[in-house]
Chain A
Amino acid sequence: MTERIGVYVCHCGTNIAGTVDVVDVANWAAEKLKHQGVVIAREYKFMCSSLGQELIEKDIKELGLTRVVVAACSPHLHEKTFRTAAKNAGLNPYLVELASIREQVSWVHSDKTIGTAKSKAVVSGAVSRVIENAALEEIKVPINPNTLVVGGGIAGIQSALEIANAGFHVYLVEREPSIGGHMSQFDKTFPTLDCSACILTPRMVEVGTHPNITLLTWSEVTNVAGYVGNFHVTINKKARFVNEELCTGCGICQEKCPKKVIDDVYEAGLGYRKAVYTPFAQAVPNFPVMDKENCTYFIKGTCKACEKFCPTNAIDFTQQDQLINIDVGNIILATGYDLFDARRVSSYGYGRLPNVFTSIEFERLSNAAGPTSGNIVLRDGKTTPKSVGIIHCVGSRDKNFNNYCSVICCMQGLKFAHLVHERTGATVYNFYIDMRTAYKAYDEFYQRVLEEGTLFVRGKVAEVTNAARKESEKGKLIIQVEDTLAGKQRRIPVDMVILSSGLQPRADSKEVGKMFGISCSMDGWFTERHPKLDPVATMTEGIFIVGCAQGPKDIPSSVAQGAAAAARVLDKILQKEVMLEPIKASINKETCSGCRICNGLCPFNAIAYIEDDKISDINPALCQGCGTCVAACPAGAISGTGFSDAQIMAQIDGLLLRNLITA
């Protein structure tokens, strides 16, 4: 059948018409591509306007067009618009092809002759290709209304609560014994200085008691299969050695446990916990976990003090890890961040000079529930510092470590300055490169800290040392810095140094990304679908990213993202089914030789070898449409819809104007 093709060239105001002679392109297409089936070629000021779309719809109906080429902007902008227009006029939307002559021609070239010539080639390629396009139907997939949230920090908590409150079930998986995340370790939150626990713990309790939330702490996702609407997830629920059915959370086991262990996680190494423990008093759930590596019973085979004293016989030394399988429709990843390891900046002396503290250590020092009951003291546990230096951008904005800005460190440094000043009256110095206090009420906080008398030195600290050069420096930490505003080198002796460390992607973010089928940026943060217009979705349908997993951010932004992703998930759940692009590969049973070359190429395990038929087959539900197998099949037995060999070959010929040669 000969196709009847309509070509529509958009002026886009002067965006295209300024660098491309659109009338010439349209006339050329009508004349030179006539033999390919072009029956009409028009140009119009704005094809995407309702009048422009009506023009196409009218031609489809009146001229009986079977294919449409729109030479306009990128398909990522208006492909949907013109496909919908075609659909409205009764033409299959996949018989429309966009030729990008704006992003690929008019905006990137300045010469009109060249722009016009290239546009003709691009249109010619699209015409040749559209002839080979096949009518396709979108694939409808039902959505499982359950949602998995991975990570129980503030972002994950927000997502879980929003979805659960809307009446849908949520599985919240947390690696640590309790939810709460980093926020539960903080004392105060900037810029309002709210007590972190006071605003966080009510949310934690709500999660713990919510009828729509299944909380799985001390658990990790180990496998993810399936696709949007139908994910099958395996979770490893690690043995707690405490029976959750029987435990009342009374805490007697922790009291009686004779084994003290340095708490590297929650107390950042400053405090102790027992071998059986809840990380903090307000933990949710408040069932303790047994630390097998440090428990005397597991090491020596005797003790069992906890078991003896437990009033409800909840201690169970025989408990095993348990694999739980769940089915969910959508997944939200709120896996958070790791703190930059300040030891890596060896010139700042962390780990070598005792009175150099990291930001998280200072959070624990200043926290009333922390190891010093909120007393800001030196490493000896008793001396109050008289002078404190706070160093910003530790590990951030530094080509030796991380190029990016960690966003929170300026405000965190200011918060520390305020707390030190308020509680100890010490002289406080802030060493910064640039002060970044964007967002609501942040700069006002900066002004407040300035007025409180904190001293600011603009310059990147070169070194923190205890090598005194004069009497006044003896027994102090000396901060060597170039004061770039005063234009001179300074040596400032202080009692305590706090490193405002930056944020880093989780050490296992690449593996986690791979498991969930999403990608990471060069730095290791999860990549969003669009940096501006779609910051919580990912390129994988049904997987969302929130909080610091996506990039460094503060609490308000994490909460906003948590809620945003929940809204996106609810939107999908309420639609009950999801439409998928019909870009899939399929195997021709007649020509498949069963060589199995394609089998190992699919990262989504969509291709299976059917032993009985001695051929391979593709599961369309798992196929993501990348086309790698299509390119690999030596028999040409695999075809890919939307991007078939015929379409691409035709487009190559068209772009090179080989199609102008009439037979």
Chain B
Amino acid sequence: MDNDHFEPTIIGFTCNWCSYRASDLAGTARMKYAPNVRLIRLMCSGRLDPTFVLRALSAGADGVMITGCHPGECHYIEQNFKALRRYLLLKRVLSGLGIEPERVKLVWASAAEGARFASETTLFVEEVRKLGPLNWGKPAAGLENLQEEISKLEEVPA
């Protein structure tokens, strides 16, 4: 596929108190940004289980954007630092799995930063576009029933 015409699909995780409100503000102010990101609202970036990111990538997303309150501004005092720790570890895990760690990005955006949310989103879409499609989780020829096979394996006999 020609990367210039590749439209990445991205899952964005937002914090209920800051970045989700920033996205609301971007909307209210009619700021235009790339349409490739689909958002999920969490109560806090600290809620982000790294498996959510892996699930998104395996289910067809080409990139994942994680957003939270600026350091020191967390609604839950300091949980965004925990998100930061997990993010840094997750990037190493992704490298180990052979996935470009740049497909996952952490962005801080306060409730007042609608413009930042919009510009960071557009920027990340372009970054992922350059990386090309991930095609992870899309079964290769002859492996269409892989998921089913794996499920069978996971069933532990009593």
Residues of A within 8 A of B (CB): 74-76, 100, 102-105, 107-111, 114-115, 118, 121-122, 125, 510, 514, 517, 519-522, 527, 531, 539, 583, 601, 603-604, 624-628, 630-632, 640, 642-643, 645, 648-649, 651-653, 655-658
A543 to chain B, nearest CB (A): 12
- A75 B41 Cβ-Cβ under 8 A: yes
Interface residues in chain B, defined as those with a beta carbon under 8 Å from any beta carbon in chain A: 9, 11, 17, 20-21, 23-24, 26-28, 30-33, 35, 38-44, 46-50, 52, 55-56, 59-61, 69-70, 72-79, 82, 86, 110, 112, 118
Inter-subunit contact A624/B48 (CB<8 Å): no
A108-B30, A110-B32, A648-B52 known; A628 vs B46 contact (CB < 8 Å): yes
| Residue numbers in B under 8 Å from A652 (CB-CB) | 11, 40, 52, 55-56, 59, 61
- Give the residue of B17, B21, B32, B60 whose beta carbon is less than 8 angstroms from that of A658: B60
Instruction: Please name all residues of chain A whose beta carbon is closer than 8 Å to the beta carbon of B30 when the two chains form the complex.
Output: 107-108
A627→B47 contact, CB < 8 A: yes
Instruction: Beyond the given A108-B27, A648-B49, please list 5 additional residue pairs across the A-B interface where CB-CB is below 8 A.
Output: A108-B35, A118-B35, A122-B38, A624-B76, A627-B46
- In the complex the two chains form, is A539's CB within 8 Å of B75's CB? yes
Is A114 a contact of B73 with CB atoms below 8 Å? no
Q: How far is the CB of A88 from chain B (nearest CB, A)?
A: 25
Chain A residues, Cβ within 8 Å of B23: 103-104
In the assembled complex, 9 residue pairs joining A and B whose CB atoms fall closer than 8 Å, in A order, are A74-B24, A74-B27, A514-B77, A519-B69, A520-B72, A603-B76, A626-B47, A643-B43, A648-B40
Contact of A626 among B31, B40, B44 (CB under 8 A): B44
Provide the bound-state CA to CA distance between A615 and B131, in Å.
45
B11–A108 touching, CB < 8 Å: no
Q: Which residues of B contact A656 (CB under 8 A)?
A: 9, 11, 38, 56, 59-61
Instruction: Tell me, in angstroms, the Cα distance from A531 to B20 when the chains sit together.
Output: 16
Tell me whether A603 and B60 are in contact (CB under 8 A). Answer: no
With a cutoff of 8 Å between Cβ atoms, the chain A residues found around residue B47 in the complex are: 626-628, 630-631, 640, 643
C-alpha gap A122/B38 in the complex (Å): 7
A417 CB to closest chain B CB, in angstroms?
Answer: 35
Q: Which residues of B contact A105 (CB under 8 A)?
A: 35
**Which one of A118, A539, A645 lies within 8 Å of B38 (CB-CB)?**
A118
Contact status A645-B46, CB under 8 Å: no
Query: In the complex, which of the residues B43, B56, B69 contacts A625, with contact meaning CB atoms closer than 8 Å?
Result: B43
Question: In the assembled complex, which residues on chain B have CB atoms less than 8 Å from the CB atom of A539?
Answer: 17, 75
Report B146 CB to chain A, min CB distance, Å. 14
Q: Are B61 and A603 in contact (CB under 8 A)?
A: no
Docked complex Cα distance between A100 and B16 (Å): 13
Q: How far, in angstroms, from A624 to B33 measured CA to CA in the complex?
A: 33
Q: Whose C-beta in chain B lies nearest to the C-beta of A647?
A: B40
Contact at A628–B82, with CB atoms within 8 Å?
yes
**Minimum CB–CB distance for A414 against chain B, Å:** 31
Cβ-neighbour of B33 out of A108, A642, A645, A655 (below 8 A): A108
Cα–Cα, bound, A658→B118 (Å):
27
| Distance to closest chain B CB from A513 (angstroms) | 9
Contacts of A640 in B (CB 8 A): 43, 47
Q: Which of A640, A648, A652, A658 gathers most chain B CB within 10 Å?
A: A652
> Would you call A76 and B24 a contact (CB within 8 A)?
yes
A223 to chain B, nearest CB (A): 15
A408 smallest CB distance to B (angstroms) = 23
Residues in A neighbouring B78, C-beta threshold 8 A: 603
Which chain A residues lie closer than 8 Å to B11 at the CB level? Answer: 652, 655-656
